[in-house]
Amino acid sequence: MSPEAIPPTRRAVLRAGACGLLGAAAGGCGFMPAKTPDADQLAPVRARVDGDLVYFNWADFVDPSVFKGFEKEYGVKVVQSNFDSMEGMVAKLNAGNRYDIVFPTAKWAQRLVRGGRLRRIDRSQLDNAQAVFGTYDYFADPWYDPGSAHTVPFTAYKTGIGWRRDRIGDLTDSWRDLWSNRAKGKVFLLDDRDEVLGMGALALGLDVSTGDSGDLDRITSLLGTLRPRLRGFSSDSYNNLLNGNALIQQAWSGDMAAMLNQAENPDVFGFQAPKEGTAINSDCYAIPWNAPHPGTAMLFIDYMLRPENVKKNIEYIGYPMPVAGTEKIYADLVEPFPECLVTEADLKADLFFRNGGRAAEEARDAAWTHVKAG
Amino acid sequence: MALPRPFTRGRRDTSGNRMWVWLMLPGTLWMTGFLIASLVLVAVLAVGTTDELGNPRFGFDLAGVRALADPAYTEVMARSLGYALLTCLICLLIAYPVAYTIALHGGRYKHALIAAIVVPFFANYLVRMYGWSVVLSDDGPVLRTLRAVGLADGGTKILNSGLGVVAGLVYGFVVFMIIPLYAALERLDVSLIEAGRDLYGGPVRTFFFVTLPATRQGAAAGLVLVFLPAMGDFVSAQLMGGPDQIMIGNLIQDKFFQGQNWPLGSALTMLLMLVLLIGMLGYLRRTRKDEAEARR
C-alpha cells in the first residue's frame, strides 16, 4: 500500500464511524430526561371509523372470529402485533411506536396515565359501557385510573395455587400448602417478582406491595425456607402441572381455567385461592396518546363489550371479564374450579400490586434477586 | 479489476485504495452503529438512573455499580463461569472424535455428514430447548420409558438440575466446536501423521504429539466460540434448570424486564463482558504466540 494512501483511508473510516456513533446517539435520545407528553390535553374522540385498527396485545388474547366480525362490520383491517411482557409493551410505546389500542395491567395503566401517555375515553361514546361501569362499581373509579377516565377494564384474575389432586390429595386452602411435604421438590412459583413477594407478604399478613426493608427481609427469610423445596420459577403453570414436573404450582386463575378446556379429566387438578388472601390483577383497554386511529379504537372497545363477543373471548382465553350478564358464562366454564371466579368482594379486598417509589422498587428488586438466586 | 502494480505510485494506485475505503464503509458503519455504539450506550446506562415510570435515563448515579457488590451476583457469576468451562470441556470431548472421524474417514460422505450435523441447528435454539424440556419432563417419554424398564424410580428427574443445564448448553453450542475442529482437521497434512508413525510413534503418541498440536488453533477457536455464548446464556437455565441453577444471563434479563432496573442490568452486562474479555485476551495471546512460532 502506498504511504500517501493511508491518511484518507483512516480518515474516511473514522468519519464513517463518527456517522454511525451519531446515528446511535440519536437512538439513545430516548434515554434523555424529556418532557412527558400530556395526552390529557387531547379531547376525547368520537367513535367512528378513521382508519385500520393497529392492535397491540398479548398473543392469543382475543378470539380470532371476533377480529373477523369487526373487520367485516366496519370495513377495516385489524393490524395485529403482540408483546410478551408489560415492560416490552411500554418500551415500544416510549420508543414512539404508534398503536391504536393497547392492554396494560392495572399497575402499568397507572404508570401510563401518570406519564400522560393515554388519551381520555368518553364513556358516552360507548353503547355498551353501562354493562361495565353500571354494574361493577369498583371499575367506575379504580385506584389505577381515577374515574376510569382513560381506561375500560378488560379482564380480571387472581393468583392462587394449582395442584395435582390425583397425586397429593386435598390441600388446606392456605399459602402454607406450598411447603407441603407431599410435594417437596415439585413445587413451582411464578417467575414474577410481584407475585412471589406478594405471596410471601400474604402468608405473613403484610401488604402485598410492601417496599419496606424490614417487611422485605421477613419475606425473603420466609421464602428462603421454601427455596430448598422448590423445583423452579416458571410461569408456564399449565404445562408444568400437565407434564408432571409440578405437583403444586402458584398459578393465575385464567391459566387454570384455560387448562380445564384442554384437560381430558379435570378431576386430577385442583385450584384454590388461599384464605390469607389472593393477589388480584386486572388489565384494561387503553388508547395511547399517539394513536393514529383513535376513533376506530373506540369502535373496537365497544364491539368487544357486546355480550356475544365477550362470551367468545371468555371461552377462548379463560379469563373473566367484568361485563354485566356474562358472569354465568364464566361460572359455567370454571365449574370444577369455582375459586377462579373474581367477585366484587375480591376486587374490594384491594390486593392489587401498586407502584412504589424508586427506593421501594429497588428494594423489591433486590429482595427478588435474593429469593431467586439464593 | 486491474492487477496490483506495487512498483508504480500513480493516481491509479490511490484510486484503488479509495475503492477499498468505499467497500469498508458499510461494514464500518454497521459495526460502529450497532455494536460499538450500543456498547457505549450500555456503559453509559450502567451509571444512569431511572425515572418515576421506571424508564432508564442518562445521568450519573453509582447505585447500579455499587449493587454489584452483593454476594448473590458473585456467586451466580462464578456458577456461570463453571458451567461455561464445563460446557467447553464436554464439547471438546464430544466434538474432537466427531470432527476427526468425518474429516479423516468421511470419504465422499464428508459434506453430507457435516450437513447432517448443521441442519438441526437451522431450527431456533429456543424452540429446540422447549422441545427438550417436554421430552425430559417427569411424565415425558424418556423418564416414562426408564421407569418402565426399572432404570428410574418416581423421584428421578433430569430437568431442573445442574446436569440438565450443562447438557442444554452442550447441545446448544457443540456445533460451534465441531465446525472449526473439522476445518482444522481437514487442512491437516495427513503425511504428518504418516511421518509420526514412520518415526515409530504409536497411534496414541502420534495423536498427542502430532495431530493434536497441529489442530490446536481449531480447538482454541472452538473453545472461544462455545465459551462466549455459553457464559451469557439464559435459555438453558430457564428451561432446564431449577432455583439453584440460575445463571448470570437470567439475572441480567430480569433486570431489564421485571426489575425495570436498566442501570443495574447494564452494570451486570459490563461485568460479564469484563470476564469474557479476560477469556478473549487469553485466546489472543495464545494465537499470537502460535503465529510467532510459525514465523520462526
Q: What are phi and psi of A232, to 5 degrees?
A: 170, 180
Reported as a single tens digit per residue, the pLDDT across A261-309 is 778 888 899 999 999 999 999 999 999 999 999 999 999 999 999 999 9
pLDDT at B145 over 90: yes
Average pLDDT over residues B193-209: 88
Range of the domain at A296: 39-156+282-342
**Residue B8 binned pLDDT confidence (cut-offs 50, 70, 90):** very low
Q: Is B165 on the interface with A (CB under 8 A)?
A: no
Q: Is residue A233 part of a domain?
A: yes
- Give yes or no: residues A363 and A238 share one domain: yes
Quick check: A351 and A101 in contact, CB under 8 A? no
Q: Which three cell numbers stand for residue B225?
A: 466460540
A1 vs A8: CA distance, rounded Å? 12
- Give yes or no: residues A82 and A143 share one domain: yes
DSSP-derived secondary structure for B192-246: HHHHHHHTT--HHHHIIIIIHHHTHHHHHHHHHHHHHHHHH--HHHHHH--GGG-
**Residue A23 binned pLDDT confidence (cut-offs 50, 70, 90):** low
Q: Is residue A168 part of a domain?
A: yes
Q: Is B67 on the interface with A (CB under 8 A)?
A: yes
- Give yes or no: residues A177 and A311 share one domain: no
Q: Is A33 on the interface with B (CB under 8 A)?
A: yes
Q: Which residues of B touch A9 (CB under 8 A)?
A: 17, 20-21
The one-letter amino acid code at B5 reads R
Sign of torsion over alpha carbons A315, A268, A344, A283: negative
**Residue B291 binned pLDDT confidence (cut-offs 50, 70, 90):** confident
- Give yes or no: residues A310 and A329 share one domain: yes
**Percent of chain B with pLDDT strictly greater than 70:** 94
A258 vs B282: CA distance, rounded Å? 52
Q: Is residue A10 part of a domain?
A: no
Contact across the interface for B21 and A12, Cβ inside 8 Å:
yes
pLDDT of residue A35: 57
Quick check: A129 and A298 in contact, CB under 8 A? no
**Where is average pLDDT lowest: A24-33, A63-72, A138-147?**
A24-33
**Where is average pLDDT lowest: A186-190, A232-236, A348-352, B17-21?**
B17-21
pLDDT of residue A5: 42
CA nearest neighbour of A315 among A326, A323, A299: A326
- Give yes or no: residues A134 and A50 share one domain: yes
pLDDT of residue A271: 95
Quick check: B191 and B104 in contact, CB under 8 A? no
pLDDT of residue A320: 92
- Give yes or no: residues A223 and A357 share one domain: yes
**Residue B153 binned pLDDT confidence (cut-offs 50, 70, 90):** confident
Which SS3 state, helix, strand or coil, does residue A206 take? coil
Angle between helix A294-304 and helix A64-74 axes, rounded to 10 deg? 120
Q: Is B185 on the interface with A (CB under 8 A)?
A: no
pLDDT of residue B1: 43
Angle between helix B262-295 and helix B37-46 axes, rounded to 10 deg? 130
Q: Is residue A13 part of a domain?
A: no
A123 vs B122: CA distance, rounded Å? 51
pLDDT at A259 over 80: yes
Long-range interactions of A127-133: CB distance < 8 A, separation 24+ = A127/A302, A128/A302, A128/A305, A128/A306, A128/A323, A129/A302, A129/A305, A131/A305, A131/A307, A131/A323, A131/A324, A131/A325, A132/A305, A132/A322, A132/A323, A132/A324
Contact across the interface for B14 and A4, Cβ inside 8 Å:
yes
Q: What is the pTM of this model?
A: 0.84
- Give yes or no: residues A245 and A361 share one domain: yes
Give how far Cα B121 sits from Cα of B89, B175, B176, B210, B232, Å: 21, 8, 10, 32, 19
Who has greater pLDDT, A260 or A369? A369
pLDDT at A3 over 50: no
Reported as a single tens digit per residue, the pLDDT across B211-263 is 888 899 899 999 999 999 999 999 999 999 988 999 999 999 988 887 778 89
CATH of the domain at A43: 3.40.190.10
User: Strand A280-286 to strand A269-272: parallel, antiparallel, or no bridges (unpaired)?
Assistant: unpaired
Sign of torsion over alpha carbons A69, A75, A81, A83: negative
Quick check: A262 and A163 in contact, CB under 8 A? no
CA-based angle A336:A331:A160, to the nearest 5?
60
Name every residue whose Cβ is closer than 8 Å to that of residue B279 and which is 6 or more positions away in sequence. Answer: B224, B227, B228, B231
Quick check: B2 and B16 in contact, CB under 8 A? yes
- Give yes or no: residues A235 and A362 share one domain: yes
Nearest to B9 among A2, A13, A369 (CB): A2
Minimum distance, in Å, between the CA of residue B149 and any CA atom of chain A: 19
Q: Which three cell numbers stand for residue B194?
A: 504418516
Contact across the interface for A20 and B32, Cβ inside 8 Å:
yes
pLDDT of residue B282: 84
Residue ranges of E strands in A213-311: 230-233, 248-252, 269-272, 280-286
CA-based angle A35:A36:A40, to the nearest 5?
130
Residue of A nearest to B4 (CA): A1
Q: Which three cell numbers stand for residue A191?
A: 417467575
Average pLDDT over residues B168-188: 95
Average pLDDT over residues A187-206: 95
Contact across the interface for A243 and B134, Cβ inside 8 Å:
yes
Is B71-290 CATH 1.10.3720.10? Answer: yes
Reported as a single tens digit per residue, the pLDDT across A205-230 is 999 999 999 999 999 999 999 999 99
pLDDT at A135 over 80: yes
pLDDT of residue B33: 84
- Give yes or no: residues A249 and A368 share one domain: yes
Residue of B22, B260, B268 for testing the chain A interface, max A β-carbons within 10 Å: B260
CA-based angle A77:A80:A83, to the nearest 5?
165
Minimum distance, in Å, between the CA of residue A246 and any CA atom of chain B: 9
Q: Which residues of B touch A2 (CB under 8 A)?
A: 9, 13-14, 17
Q: Is residue A310 part of a domain?
A: yes
If phi > 0 it is left, if psi is from -120 to 50 it is alpha, else beta; for residue A353 that is: beta
**Residue A25 binned pLDDT confidence (cut-offs 50, 70, 90):** low
pLDDT at A6 over 50: no
pLDDT at A100 over 70: yes
Q: Is residue A361 part of a domain?
A: yes
pLDDT of residue A26: 56
Q: How many domains does chain A have?
A: 2
User: Strand A280-286 to strand A151-164: parallel, antiparallel, or no bridges (unpaired)?
Assistant: antiparallel
Residue ranges of E strands in A71-182: 78-82, 101-102, 151-164
Contact across the interface for B40 and A372, Cβ inside 8 Å:
no
pLDDT of residue A28: 61
Reported as a single tens digit per residue, the pLDDT across A138-178 is 999 999 999 999 999 999 999 999 999 999 999 999 999 99
Who has greater pLDDT, B260 or B103? B103
Reported as a single tens digit per residue, the pLDDT across B17-39 is 778 888 888 988 998 888 888 89
Average pLDDT over residues A14-22: 62
- Give yes or no: residues A254 and A320 share one domain: no
Q: Which three cell numbers stand for residue B233?
A: 446464556
* Neighbouring C-beta atoms of residue A337, cutoff 10 Å: 21
pLDDT of residue A68: 97
- Give yes or no: residues A360 and A228 share one domain: yes
B272 vs B129: CA distance, rounded Å? 23
Contact across the interface for A24 and B38, Cβ inside 8 Å:
yes
Average pLDDT over residues B165-176: 95
Which SS3 state, helix, strand or coil, does residue A155 take? strand
Minimum distance, in Å, between the CA of residue B102 and any CA atom of chain A: 39
**Percent of chain A with pLDDT strictly greater than 90:** 69
- Give yes or no: residues A312 and A364 share one domain: no
Residue of B nearest to A85 (CA): B257
* Neighbouring C-beta atoms of residue B37, cutoff 10 Å: 21
CA nearest neighbour of A350 among A13, A106, A119, A46: A106
The one-letter amino acid code at B178 reads I
pLDDT of residue A153: 96
